[in-house]
Amino acid sequence: MLLNPLDILGNPLNTFGEMSIPILISNFITLCGFILATWFAARYTDILYGGRPKPKSWLLIINGLLSLSIAETGQFLLPYRINPMIIEATLILISQGFGAILITIGCYLLSREMA
């Protein structure tokens, strides 16, 4: 017997009643925003520094944005799970915390480079 994907994932078009589609769209826009921010930051540093080594501050910021993008992907999918596991939520929180710490350290180093 084949497993129906809707047994694992809820239907995103009716999970939250009449608010389902606005919630789905807003979550998708947020996910796209994090992915684009990561891509634009990586492109900016590639263009700005060319072949020179990139400073640690920008590498930390880009890796922090990447970590937040991974966490946002999990948050995008989590509401539609029928039985989300604690391990999933924990990994999302760890990824968010790690991303926030990397961005904070990167911004601190960037401010020290400018001073």
Each residue's pLDDT tens digit, 59-90: 999 999 999 999 988 888 777 776 677 888 88
pLDDT tens-place string over residues 39-49: 999 999 999 99
Residue 103 near residue 61, CB atoms below 8 Å: yes
pTM above 0.85, yes or no: no
End-to-end CA distance of the chain: 65
- The domain spans of the chain are 19-114
pLDDT at 82: 64
Rounded to an integer, the average pLDDT of 81-104 is: 86
Long-range CB contact pairs, 78-87, < 8 A, 24+: 79/10, 79/15, 79/16, 79/23, 79/27, 80/9, 80/10, 80/11, 80/12, 80/15, 81/8, 81/9, 81/10, 82/7, 82/8, 82/9, 82/10
Q: Report the mean per-residue pLDDT for the chain.
A: 85
